[in-house]
A and B are shown apart, each in its own frame.
Chain A
Amino acid sequence: MHFHKFEKIWLTFGIGALVLFLVILGYGAFYLGTHPQSHGLTIDPQNVEAHEAFKPENLGLTKVDEDRYIVNVVASAFNYDFGVDKEGNAVKHIEIPKGATVLFQVVTPDVIHGFNIAGTNVNMMVEPGYISSMEVEMNQPGEYTLLCNEYCGIGHHMMYTTVEVYE
């Protein structure tokens, strides 16, 4: 089979760029630890409260150390459960200081949901049976919309809360 000379140059250049690109992706994933979330932790979807992190009193934002937080969330159609505040009202807004390290842990007792702090790389699928989790540093101050970006039913677009990163 015959390849034209220019086609050889074109393919060599193209494949070279491709290899370089894949090396960069692999370096990021395996050496810098930038894999997308995948921990394979399972949970019984019909009984998520059995897990310590998802007991009603442990939901929402918890400070674990100086500049370290955990956010536990139960996502269900069509609501994110962040627990209740001191008055017993459902929490609809969380505030995190700039530069803090935050571990998000999310589960669903019903259908598949998304968990996306819009415009950031906090973006996870939440599937029945698995704990979705991701640790990030919140470095950009501002008000963010936290929303469901995987179709979960007729109230899908009403499933959101807000997250504020303050200075």
Chain B
Amino acid sequence: MALHNVVLPNEDSRQLLPIPKKEAKLYMSFMYVAFISLFIGGLMGLLQVLVRSGNFTLPFGIGYYQILTVHGVILALVLTTFFIIGFQFALMSKTVGMSDKQRNLSWLAFWIMTIGTIMTAITILLGKASVLYTFYAPLKAHPAFYIGLAFVIVGTWVAAFVNWRQLYLWKKKHPGEKSPLLAFMVTINMIMWFIASLGIAVAVLVQFIPWSLGYAETINVLVSRTLFWYFGHPLVYFWLLPAYMAWYAIIPKIIGGKLFSDSLARLSFVLFLFFSIPVGFHHQLTEPGIDPTWKFIQVVLTFMVIIPSLMTAFSLFATFEITGRRKGYGGLFGWFKHLPWKDVRFFAPFVGMLAFIPGGAGGIINASHQMNTLVHNTIWVTGHFHLTVATTVILTFFGITYWLIPHLTGRKLTKSVNRLGIIQTIVWGIGMLIMSGAMHIQGLLGGPRRSDYSEYGGTEQAVTWGAYQMAQAIGGTILFVGIILMVYIFIKLAFFSPKGDEEFPIAEEEENAEPTPMWMENWKLWVAITIALILFAYTIPFVDIIQNSPPGSVPFDWPIGNS
């Protein structure tokens, strides 16, 4: 059969050896920031649900919206980005290698991101930036908030350049070979991230920073929101694609199987690249200044990601079935019963996959042109993304943590930590079922998101919402127990587990797999199509927004308690 599918012994045996110490230190630094963020953010989450139950007031004059800003920024922006960049570096190191020079640049990326995070965090903690993680103009935060965010973004760009360079050098050394699947996926994700983050970078550098410093008198609100959501939707795919990397290329190895199809996995990533960006209007459907026809066009483009999502679902379950049957578990569901349920490296991501079924269905509702009006800015939306990001993505990241951390620290995932991990997953699942379920229902009954405890003058509707906020407090408290467990597990794996070699699981292709077509690596074409789709979806409405702009807005800082 096709020769190039035979796995050749790697010339530097990178795949067989653990990641070198010097590199491990770098990747662990990203992980430390991620898990410290998880703890702080989770604590804020707990405080939020308690406040919203109506039985708890924050001490020391801390404001609800201040902790909500911490929660959103530190979990949605810091935790995710640090985990992803660290994980992707580890994948690149394992598949294509990292040179000393690249490692130094990666440290630079780490420090730029960390300094930015600290700047932003201090401004929020001083109460100077209670603008929530979306920082919609014309609410004005202290300039240090925006400058800190700009640093974080620039840091991720350095990481992106390093990743591309890593693959480029590998390809030069391996002419005519296809790039390793995981390196291909990381490269796609960083191309998407870079193109998307240009939008937020322009908003922050050109609009927010001069305006908050007083150099520009007014800001164009709709332009800033459009740039934000041009970035904001691909942001959620930037979180999701690393989880898909684990589902496609790591989980099959953990359950003792092979890749379902190398080329279909690549194809789905290419489709995600195309359809993640030209879709931001689905977050702006109820806004007054955008032409509804263009809103509709972006709605249609949004729904195109359903195609690679269906491909992903198929390939996962096909892998499960093929692997089970090959092990001899017949019958209609024998293969399913015999999946390694007791292995947390599989179990945690699997629960994440399950959460994506209601999560994805809810997403379809949110993005559909008209139904959006019923749920927009209700707590339903918060329920939705606690399923998608805070369960699907986060449980998959936890699933990665169980083997990645011991691999990096030269330790073992012990039986007892594995068991604790299973309990952690169940606790998370139950807590989220209660909290997210209650949020979904309360949202359908009209309860708003991003809201401190309020009785709304005692209206009948507000009384019914109260019961659901109580349920959120119960679910949220269970979730916080899950966070404590996970932080404990992380510390254990990083510092206290017995020494040993933990496997870095990467699935291989079937021996008789069909060769992957070479056009899959046509990077220039993929980027060109991506840009063409963005230009198609945004040029006309964006020109329209600018040509029909109202007078700009002066900054407002008193509504957030500053002045």
A binding-site residues for B, Cβ under 8 Å? 1-4, 6-7, 10-11, 14-15, 18, 21-22, 25-26, 28-30, 34-46, 77-78, 110-112, 114, 116-121, 123-133, 142-145, 147-158, 160, 162
Contact = CB atoms under 8 A, between A and B. Distances in A.
Interface string B274-287: 00000000001111
Interface in B333-379: 364, 368-370, 372-374, 376-378
Given A112-B221, A121-B373, A147-B448, A38 B289 contact: yes
Nearest first, the 5 A-B pairs at minimum CB distance are A153-B559, A118-B446, A129-B550, A119-B446, A157-B454
Interface in B436-450: 444-450
23 contacts: A2-B514, A10-B310, A14-B310, A22-B303, A35-B369, A38-B289, A38-B292, A116-B378, A118-B448, A123-B376, A125-B286, A125-B288, A125-B376, A127-B221, A129-B221, A129-B549, A129-B551, A129-B553, A143-B459, A149-B450, A152-B559, A153-B560, A155-B559
Nearest to A153: B559
Contacts of A120: 446
Given A36-B295, A121-B374, A125-B287, A114 B448 contact: yes
B398 to A, nearest CB: 29
B286 A18 contact: no
Contact of B373 (A18, A123, A156): A123
B377 A111 contact: no
Contacts of B289: 38, 40, 42, 127, 129-130
Contact of B549 (A4, A25, A42): A42
B314 interface: yes
Q: How extensive is the interface on chain B, given as a class?
A: 35 or more
Contacts of B330: none
Contacts of A4: 314, 318
Contact of A149 (B130, B378, B445, B556): B378
B111 interface: no
Given A29-B292, A145-B459, A128 B553 contact: yes
B459 to A, nearest CB: 4
A112 B516 CA distance: 50
A154 B63 contact: yes
Given A2-B514, A36-B285, A152-B559, A42 B550 contact: yes
Contact of A157 (B263, B310, B452, B554): B452
Interface of B: 63, 65, 130, 132, 136, 138-139, 221-222, 225, 261, 263-264, 267, 284-292, 295-296, 299-300, 303, 306-307, 310-311, 314-315, 318, 364, 368-370, 372-374, 376-378, 444-454, 456-457, 459-462, 514, 516-517, 544, 548-554, 556, 558-561
Given A11-B314, A117-B446, A156-B65, 16 more contacts: A1-B264, A22-B300, A25-B299, A36-B373, A37-B286, A40-B288, A42-B289, A119-B446, A124-B286, A124-B288, A125-B288, A127-B222, A129-B222, A143-B460, A145-B459, A160-B457
A127 B559 contact: no
B551 A46 contact: yes
Contact of A127 (B287, B291, B453, B459): B287
A38 B287 contact: yes
A126 B221 CA distance: 11
A25 B550 contact: no
A94 to B, nearest CB: 14
Contacts of B303: 18, 21-22
Contacts of B222: 127, 129-130
Given A14-B310, A132-B288, A147-B456, A112 B296 contact: no
A121 B375 CA distance: 8
B370 A36 contact: yes
B461 A118 contact: yes
Contact of A145 (B261, B446, B449): B446
Nearest to B553: A128
Nearest to B306: A18
